[in-house]
């Protein structure tokens, strides 16, 4: 059916507004990219906009050889991978039984979990609890408090409820128990949702700043979020030991821009590969409560 003039006008306005929104997100990243690859003189004189001036990679070289950025990158990868595995395992083991109407105490446990979305213990009680458990300076202080996101778990529960019961009945006739049903039928059917929730947990762990800042005191265990924050808030230099022979060849702004990009790029690389699962998983997981 041919679009009316009003519909064409509506589509044009939508495209225009979405283009502005996209540019507002992309232009700061492009500007950071240009600064990280520009000559120090061009950066200091303010001549860098959206394209590098006198290309060089000295900022990245100084960042990699003169700071703990590589070590922090490894720490972020470790925190993210282990955190996603633990969170997905725990969330699945909670969401699956809550999705079954025959689970005893289902209503009580559901209400108790929802209660945690509205009320929390607060920073000081949480810190005292982590300290009493001996988890200070341990990544378990990061993984355990955020092991299960109530929202993510609820999306998983809703998704499991939407899986046709005929699949489960057929598997039970073939002799599947609960764990066999979960591993062989439910999880393979739920790949879009698993990709979506895994992305949520991965972004949360990768960008974890406050937890690492509060609970991790050993500088060798800091992640990229904290290290880049230290660099961004250092006015005169990255506040980290750079090689002396590079001091005159780089600027703090260039090094900080390179650090921010190193933190952002991994998530930007991962997202396109699971985008189709991301959209489908969110939509299906929100159809029925």
**Three-state secondary structure string covering 73-134:** HHHHHHHHHHHHHHHHHHHHHHHHHHCCCCCCCHHHHHHHHHHHHHCCCCHHHHHHHHHHCC
Q: Which residues contact 276 (CB under 8 A, 6 or more apart)?
A: none
Check whether residue 224 and residue 283 sit in a common domain. Answer: yes
Biggest CA pair distance of the chain: 74
Q: How far is CA 115 from CA 98, 110, 146, 149, 205, in A?
A: 15, 9, 16, 12, 23
The CATH number assigned to the domain holding 168 equals 1.10.3720.10
- Both structure tokens of 81: 């991978």
Q: In the listed set 37, 56, 75, which residue is the last one of a domain according to the structure?
A: 56
Nearest to 286 by CA among 196, 186, 189, 167: 196
Q: Residues 118, 49: one domain?
A: no
Residue 177 backbone zone (phi > 0: left; psi -120 to 50: alpha; other: beta): beta
Q: What is the pLDDT of residues 222-255, one digit of tens each?
A: 888 888 877 766 544 444 445 445 555 567 777 7
214 vs 238: CA distance, rounded Å: 21
- Structural domain total, the chain: 2
Give the whole-number percent of the chain exceeding pLDDT 90: 14
Residue count of the chain: 289
What predicted TM-score, i.e. pTM, was given to this entire model?
Answer: 0.80
Are 175 and 276 in a shared domain?
yes
- 218 with 78, same domain? yes
Residue ranges making up the domain that contains 106: 59-289
Do 133 and 273 fall into the same domain? yes
Same domain, 38 and 178: no
Helix (H, G, I), strand (E, B) or coil at 189: helix
In angstroms, rounded to a whole number, what is the distance separating the alpha carbons of residues 106 and 69? 46
Rounded Cα distance between 159 and 79, Å, is: 27
Domain end marker among 56, 72, 89: 56
Question: Of all residues in the chain, what percent are helix, strand and coil, respectively (each to 5)?
Answer: 70, 0, 30
Per mean pLDDT, which of 88-92, 144-148, 161-165, 227-231 is the most reliable? 88-92
44 in the same domain as 104: no
- pLDDT tens by residue, 246-287: 555 567 777 778 888 888 888 888 777 776 666 555 555 444
Q: Helix 106-118 to helix 150-162 angle, to the nearest 10 degrees?
A: 140
Does 204 lie in the same domain as 101?
yes
Residue 163, SS3 per DSSP: coil
Are 3 and 131 members of one domain? no
Query: Does 109 share its domain with 219?
Result: yes
Last residue of a domain, one of 56, 75, 94: 56
Does 32 share its domain with 171?
no
CB 229 within 8 A of CB 216: no
**130 & 26 share domain:** no
């Amino acid at each position: 059916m041919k679009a009316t003039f009003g519909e064409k006008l509506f589509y044009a306005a939508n495209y225009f507004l979405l283009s502005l929104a996209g540019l507002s997100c992309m232009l700061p990243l492009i500007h950071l990219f240009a600064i990280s690859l520009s000559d120090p003189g061009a950066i200091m004189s303010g001549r860098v906009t959206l394209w590098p001036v006198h290309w060089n990679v000295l900022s990245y070289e100084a960042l990699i050889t003169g700071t703990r950025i590589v070590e922090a990158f490894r720490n972020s990868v470790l925190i993210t991978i282990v955190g996603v595995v633990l969170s997905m395992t725990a969330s699945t083991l909670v969401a699956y039984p809550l999705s079954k109407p025959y689970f005893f105490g289902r209503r009580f446990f559901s209400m108790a979990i929802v209660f945690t979305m509205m009320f929390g213990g607060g920073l000081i009680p949480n810190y005292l609890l982590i300290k009493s458990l001996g988890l200070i300076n341990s990544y378990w202080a990061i993984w355990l408090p955020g092991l299960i996101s109530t929202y993510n778990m609820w999306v998983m529960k809703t998704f499991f409820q939407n899986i046709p019961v005929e699949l489960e009945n057929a598997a039970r006739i073939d002799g599947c128990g609960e764990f066999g049903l979960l591993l062989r039928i439910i999880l393979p059917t739920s790949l879009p949702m698993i990709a979506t929730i895994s992305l949520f947990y991965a972004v949360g762990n990768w960008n974890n700043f406050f937890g690492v800042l509060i609970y991790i005191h050993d500088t060798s265990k800091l992640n990229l979020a904290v290290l880049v924050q230290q660099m961004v808030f250092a006015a005169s230099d990255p506040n980290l030991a750079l090689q002396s022979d590079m001091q005159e060849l780089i600027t703090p702004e260039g090094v900080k821009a390179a650090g921010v990009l190193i933190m952002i790029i991994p998530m930007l690389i991962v997202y396109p590969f699971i985008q189709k699962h991301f959209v489908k998983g969110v939509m299906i997981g929100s159809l029925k409560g």
